[in-house]
Copies of this chain bind each other. A is one copy, B any other.
């Protein structure tokens, strides 16, 4: 090994390397790095110079291992799909809120697979995250108990998890769906179809319940032929929409249970060339929904607010908040853009 090139060992510099260079003990370096008092200014400067020279980056692992509070200042976010616009916006909000407190965010998708969900949370738990914001899949979550007992905080988002007592942050799914139906009824619709996700998912079930309740309130019987559940993607929703409209007593309006299904419904209506005759209201906003023709009327959630609220709650818990678990319900907002205002047979 030449003497000038340096060994360039693929080894990260440690406190000891810095200490050697600065001519102090490793504890002094530790003090400087952590901003602890009790170090002479001259020495501190020398240490900082040495840190920069060797390119020292504190090892969060080792530091945390010994640290008393055992906090890693990291949280995790586990959602169905980080690429879904709703989840992506949620991710951004959680990360921003955490970042402002110097907390890093790790994220993963579970695709509704309970095993992947468990794997993701366990992987993060192994990395000793202080807590997790979880959009739970439909499954038992008893395996979380141990982790929570061991101090990992959990805040659920979008929906609760069965048999799990924890903070929840969600939209007012039911009221939003009721509002959507009332809107359609006000525009003269009676035969309103609902394209729904798996009813096992709390949020989907609540939206469906809101649909039923609002139809009842309007004095309408629910025609079960008009309720299609178990739709998981845009393609399924498109098929369902086309099928519904081809039936003997087709609906005059469509209500869709989430952004992907709204997209599918729009596709279906286009395919039939009936997007200006059949009304449509979507639950959850859809990208560029205002630019479609007609614009897509939606009951919008605020993923940014949901994420920020969930992250704040989680950070409070991590900071020691021991108040009872609570559910935060955020309002939705109906945004009329055209598709939901297409008049039905009963006049508007």
Q: Which residues of A contact B (CB under 8 A)?
A: 8, 10-13, 54-55, 57-62, 64-65, 72, 74, 81-85, 88-89, 91-92, 95-96, 99, 104-109, 120, 122-128, 145-147, 149-151, 263, 266-267, 270, 286-289, 291-293
Contacts and interface: CB of A to CB of B under 8 A. Distances in A.
Given A11-B150, A59-B126, A292-B292, 12 more contacts: A54-B146, A57-B146, A59-B128, A60-B61, A61-B72, A61-B128, A83-B88, A85-B88, A95-B108, A104-B127, A267-B291, A287-B287
A146 B8 CA distance: 10
A127 B289 CA distance: 40
A81 to B, nearest CB: 7
A108 B105 CA distance: 7
A55 to B, nearest CB: 3
A288 to B, nearest CB: 5
Contact of A266 (B128, B145, B291): B291
Contacts of A59: 65, 126, 128
Nearest to A89: B83
A288 B289 CA distance: 8
Contacts of A127: 60-61, 74, 104, 127
A291 B269 CA distance: 11
15 contacts: A8-B149, A10-B151, A55-B146, A59-B65, A61-B61, A61-B62, A65-B65, A82-B92, A84-B88, A91-B107, A104-B124, A263-B288, A266-B291, A270-B291, A292-B292
A128 B55 CA distance: 14
Contacts of A83: 85, 88-89, 91-92
The 5 closest A-B pairs by CB, nearest first: A55-B146, A10-B151, A61-B61, A83-B92, A287-B287
